[in-house]
Structure 1
Amino acid sequence: MTKELEHQLRLERSRVDKRADELVAFLDIQREHQTVSDAQLSLAETQFMLLETYYVLINRRIKDLKRKRG
């Protein structure tokens, strides 16, 4: 069960990483030439910060599983 959970967490981390990369690309474009409202830009920046936090939490869960298994 632990290895399966770790595998699922690694997949989720990969998905989150990809979404964060896509959002960074969007934010970079918007900073050069803003095409969305200030509110949308602010919300996208908040979304990125939350994705980063989620990524860190997933990493902590993976490390915890390894520690328990080790």
Structure 2
Amino acid sequence: MSAFEKYSPFIRDYIYSRNWDSLREVQIGAAEVLFGTENNLLLTSSTASGKTEAAFFPIISRLYDDPPQT
């Protein structure tokens, strides 16, 4: 399953609405770690490379798919 497919539907809709052709390398790499492990992740990349989305899309998707019980 691709990084894009692991995102919650509303995240995928957001990406489509912005007419993104593809995810950036940092976004794919972050999704692989954040969806595939319990490891922490430190993202470093140049300005305007997609770091914010790389960090938040997987986190928001996980919270949406499995909300905290408290």
Q: TM-score range by the shorter chain?
A: 0.3 to 0.5
TM-score normalised according to structure 2 size: 0.35
Higher relative contact order (CA 8 A, sep 6+): 1
TM-score in terms of structure 1 length: 0.35
* Structure of higher CA gyration radius: 1
